Amino acid sequence: MTVLNQPNPKSHGLKLGCLGCAGMLAIIIGLGSLWLLAPNWVENHNPFMQQHMIDVAWEWGNFAPIPPEATDLQIMTSGSSFSRTFRGSFSAERSILEKWIQDSPGLNLDEGTRLESGKFRYTISPNGGAGFGSVDLDPQGNMIYFTVSWS
């Protein structure tokens, strides 16, 4: 049986429709941003990932093992789904750092250059898929700074 002349119920969905779409769009953009940014935050703030980052950086840079006397080892990662960069540093006595440089097969020792800052920069012959990188020796601070990247 069909009932005629019955009033149509009012719908508020149309009025809130634009706000609902905008809200959904904001959620999608927010989740997309987390997808791109969260991996770096998780890696840089998770102690279990630190060893993985060191392992990858050492493979890519084709570096000698970290000297047992090294202190203040730090490593951070940045990038997205299409690139990855590892930057870090460690310190030790200058003679230990110089031996580490000599023992690292990935460093182009013939292509070292002195920077204006007083640091000495060596480029690397990347390994394991890395595209480029460098190692800086800071003789005043007895520090090694390294960067390896893939993109």
pTM exceeds 0.75 for this model: no
User: pLDDT per position in the chain (151 positions), as tens?
Assistant: 555 555 555 555 555 455 555 566 556 565 454 444 445 444 555 677 888 889 989 998 999 999 999 999 999 998 887 888 999 999 999 999 999 999 999 888 887 899 998 899 999 887 777 788 999 999 888 999 999 998 7
> What does the H/E/C string look like for the chain?
CCCCCCCCCCCCHHHHHHHHHHHHHHHHHHHHHHHHHHHHHHHHHCHHHHHHHHHHHHHHHCCCCCCCCCEEEEEEEEEECCEEEEEEEEECCHHHHHHHHHHCCCECHHHCEECCCCCEEEEECCCCCCCEEEEEEECCCCEEEEEEEEC
